[in-house]
Structure formats: C-alpha cells, structure tokens
C-alpha cells in the first residue's frame, strides 16, 4: 500500500467514525408547541371582586385577560386569599357614596350579608359565612382560623371562627369601620374608622380594643412594613398618609400627597422598601420609600383606582378601576401602565394568588 493510499484510508475512517458518533447521539427533546406554551400554568392569577355585577373576575396576567368569572352575591368588596380559597365580603346594603341621602335608599337585604368562600380548585363559591352586618373589609388571624370583619353600618368588628362559622364576639371600633389589617407578628388587628378618623387596635389574644389612635379624616386602609415596626394609614379627605410607630402605637408623622388626591388602598413591595398608594378619584398611584418616607414617583393608573395588589415577584401592580370596569397592570420598574384588562362591573378589590 502506498503512502497516499494510507492517508486516503485514514481520512475515510475518520469520517465514518464521526458519522457513527453522530448516530449514537441522543435525539433532542421536541420544543414545546405553541399550544403547550399557551396552556402553561401562569405563576400567579389575579382575582378581582366586582361590586356592581356581584361576581369575581379571574385574570391571567400572562395573556393578559380575564379567563373566568365566578358568581358571588351582592356587592362583593373586600377580598383575600388563604389556604387554596378566596374569601370575599358580600353586602346586601345599598351602595351609599359620600353625599348620598341614605334615607332615599332602598332597605338593606341582610340575607345577602356574609363572607363568600370560593374554592380555587373547583372555581366556584362553595359557602357563605355569616360576617355580621354589612361586611366590607376583613383580615385573617395568623393561623387562618379566625376572621376579623369590619361591619360598616354597625360600627364594630366581628370575630368569626371559619370552620364553625360562629361569631365569637364583636367589638366597637368607631363609626364606619373599613380597613382591617393584621400586624406581621399576628398580635394585633388594626381597624380604620372612616367617620371617627381613628384606628382601633385589637389584641388577637383577648379580641379587645387596647388602643385607639387618632389619625386623619376618613382613614381607609393600613399597611405594615414587613418587620411590623411601622404602619401607614391612608386618609382620604386629608390627601395624606399617617405614619404610625407600632411599638408605642403613636403617630410619628405624615406624608402629604398632591392636592386633590384621595388616598385609598395600599400595597407593600415584597422587599418592604416601597409602599404603593391608590388615590381613587385622584386617578394616581404613588410610590413611597419606606426608609425615608418620601414620595418617589406616581403614575395615572385609571378611573378611580381603589383596590391594589402587587405580584409575588414585585414586578407588577394591579389596580381595580371602578368607573371604567377594568384593571390596570403597572410595571413597577418604570411605573407605567402597560395594559388594561376588562373586569366586571365596578371592580373593587384585588388579590394576587401564586399558583401551586
């Protein structure tokens, strides 16, 4: 065999070996089809209570659109999630915006009052707990066995055992109670009183009011920083936010918003560094640095943004805009509205639930 023949044979052998190696390589996994991608489970869903249409919109923010509507009952407002369920405050009392002569309104339907319980796996209302008269907002205790419910027309808070549905007691908190928030350590429940301009602090050990704090005119909601050392209260008719020191349960300052703003709902960023405040008829959402208690920005969110919630990753805000029947999706990095999604009639509250 000549030298050229040896070289030629070696080259051919190399090619054959390379081909054999390729033939034994495991085939690549097929890429997900467009349909599979479309059906992929989103990391979270957004649930919106619609006061006017008596139902709840389920929004997939990845689409983004409402993917389901769940019937609830009359005037669903306050909304929270716990243990694979969404709880919604329902009320048979007629809507009475500020300035309305209540003597001209129809009588309340007390049979419609309660806390509706929606099973997320079934996607439907499974029961209604008695929640006292005209329930509006509420909060769970630490282990999720009790609910503290603001009864707007009764001037107090009902303490309800979820499993049995029993009312364990009621506490007067001031006229027109609304915002109800559990402290991060689970020891106290803070309840705003719109008419009295106060925050009542209840001990979860005794279910009794231990302190009443004067804040501002028409306080609406309370939000804590994650370590519980400080809380913020929105005062609708003062266009400001009260700062509370929780160890002493005292007011330590206030944050003034722009003139004409109506601070309403609140949400805290996952890292606890930013407080988001909706302003109702002011149309804006403000950002406040919780380290400096200074306003850092704002965006016009929509028509009367009230309920507000933040995504688990902190990248998006969701506001319920009552008059326009939609929900704004706000990018928190740029503080811009990136999309508006149609909801039901007069969306009120928002809760974000991570998918399992």
Domain segments of the chain: what residues?
44-96+103-354
d(CA 60, CA 70): 14
Q: Please state the rounded mean pLDDT for residues 206-210.
A: 95
Q: Please state the rounded mean pLDDT for residues 242-256.
A: 98
Give the E-state strand segments of 218-314 in sequence order. Answer: 219-224, 230-235, 240-245, 250-256, 266-268, 274-278, 284-289, 294-300, 305-310
Condensed to tens digits (0 to 9), the pLDDT of residues 298-322 reads 999 999 999 999 999 999 999 999 9
Residue 153: pLDDT band with limits 50, 70, 90: confident
Residue, of 170 and 29, whose pLDDT is higher = 170
d(CA 101, CA 79): 27
**pLDDT at position 8, please?**
42
> What letter does residue 100 receive in the DSSP assignment?
-
Query: Is the distance from CB of 76 to CB of 70 less than 8 angstroms?
Result: no
For residue 19, pLDDT beyond 50? no
Residue, of 216 and 96, whose pLDDT is higher = 216
State the sign of the Cα–Cα–Cα–Cα dihedral 349, 85, 199, 77. Answer: positive
Q: Please state the rounded mean pLDDT for residues 95-121.
A: 85
**pLDDT at position 11, please?**
42
**pLDDT at position 235, please?**
98
Residues 6+ apart with CB under 8 A from 182: 139, 140, 141, 142, 148, 188, 189, 204
- Residue whose token pair is 């929780």: 246
Three-class SS state of 153: coil
Residue 86 CB-half CA count within 13 A? 32
Q: Could you name the CATH architecture of 44-96+103-354? A: 7 Propeller (2.130)
pTM of the model: 0.87
Condensed to tens digits (0 to 9), the pLDDT of residues 176-201 reads 999 999 999 999 999 999 999 999 99
């Amino acid at each position: 065999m000549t030298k050229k023949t040896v070289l030629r044979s070696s080259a051919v052998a190399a090619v054959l070996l390379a081909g054999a190696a390729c033939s034994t390589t495991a085939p690549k996994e097929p890429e997900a089809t467009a349909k599979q991608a479309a059906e992929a489970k989103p990391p979270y869903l957004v649930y919106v209570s619609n006061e006017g249409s008596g139902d709840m919109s389920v929004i997939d923010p990845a689409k983004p659109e409402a993917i389901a509507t769940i019937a609830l009952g009359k005037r669903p407002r306050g909304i929270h999630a716990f243990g694979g369920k969404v709880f919604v405050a329902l009320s048979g009392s007629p809507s009475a915006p500020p300035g309305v002569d209540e003597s001209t309104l129809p009588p309340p339907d007390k049979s419609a009052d309660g806390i509706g319980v929606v099973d997320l796996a079934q996607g439907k209302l499974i029961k209604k707990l008695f929640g006292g008269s005209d329930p509006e907002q509420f909060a769970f205790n630490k282990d999720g066995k009790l609910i503290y419910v603001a009864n707007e027309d009764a001037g107090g808070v009902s303490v309800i055992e979820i499993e049995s549905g029993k009312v364990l007691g009621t506490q007067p908190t001031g006229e027109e109670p609304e915002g109800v928030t559990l402290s991060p350590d689970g020891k106290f429940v803070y309840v705003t009183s719109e008419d009295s301009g106060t925050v009542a602090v209840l001990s979860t050990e005794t279910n009794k009011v231990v302190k009443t704090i004067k804040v501002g005119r028409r306080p609406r909601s309370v939000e804590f920083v994650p370590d519980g050392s400080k809380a913020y209260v929105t005062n609708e008719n003062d266009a400001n936010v009260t700062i509370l020191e929780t160890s002493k349960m005292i007011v330590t300052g206030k944050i003034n918003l722009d003139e004409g703003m109506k601070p309403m709902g609140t949400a805290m960023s996952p890292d606890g560094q930013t407080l988001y405040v909706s302003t109702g008829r002011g149309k804006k959402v403000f950002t406040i640095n919780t380290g400096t208690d200074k306003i850092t920005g704002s965006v016009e969110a929509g028509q009367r943004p009230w309920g507000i919630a933040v995504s688990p990753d902190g990248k998006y805000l969701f506001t319920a805009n009552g008059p326009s029947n939609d929900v704004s999706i706000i990018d928190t990095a740029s503080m811009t509205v990136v999309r508006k999604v149609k909801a039901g009639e007069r969306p009120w509250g928002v809760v974000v639930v991570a998918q399992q």
